[in-house]
Amino acid sequence: MMPEDIPGLKDIKEDQAVLEHIIWDLEPKQLMEPTYYINEEGKKEKKILRGYMFYIDRMSDIKPGLFLMCHTGSSYAETIAKVNEVPDELVDEAIEENKNKEYFGMVPINKKIEVWLKKELGIEK
């Protein structure tokens, strides 16, 4: 998919399956955790993550951007949309607020972006 062809906010809003499976409290570092880890009892499987996660990418553009990632139960993840409509000041504030949570250029969104997204997507609760 070419960058100009990546789906946007309108496309996300029209996809009910995406809207129903957004994980709002997931951080990028949690996506990168090993599938298995060793503890005192031996090998233990981690919780399977399935759904969609918004994040801010500081590496893909000249300026940071808000993206949506799909994560499958088989641990496959792919960025599937970019939200160009988000105000730059919200992105900048989230980066500053979560600078200690940046992981491989990915920054979690904050509550203000979550509230903005829910309003824009029509899923206010």
Q: Which domain holds residue 14?
A: 3-33+43-121
Q: Are 22 and 53 in contact (CB under 8 A)?
A: yes
Rounded Cα distance between 35 and 28, Å, is 15
Asked if residue 21 belongs to a domain, the reply is yes
Asked if residue 63 belongs to a domain, the reply is yes
pLDDT for the residue numbered 1? 46
Tens-digit pLDDT profile for residues 6-44:
899 999 999 999 999 999 998 888 877 777 777 777 776
Q: Which amino acid is at 101?
A: K
Asked if residue 29 belongs to a domain, the reply is yes
pLDDT for the residue numbered 95? 97
Give SS3 for 97: helix
Number of domains, the chain: 1
How many contiguous H segments (helices) and E segments (strands) does the chain have? 5, 6
Asked if residue 38 belongs to a domain, the reply is no
Among 26-30, 36-40, 84-88, 106-110, the range scoring the smallest mean pLDDT is: 36-40
Q: Residue 47: which pLDDT band, with cuts at 50, 70 and 90? A: low
Q: What is the phi-psi region of residue 62: left when phi exceeds 0, alpha when psi lies from -120 to 50, beta otherwise?
A: alpha
101: burial class by Cβ within 10 Å (0-12, 13-18, 19+)? middle
In this structure, the number of other CB atoms found within 10 A of the CB of residue 125 comes to 3
pTM confidence score:
0.85
| Residue 118 reports pLDDT greater than 70 | yes
Query: Which one-letter DSSP state was computed for residue 118?
Result: H
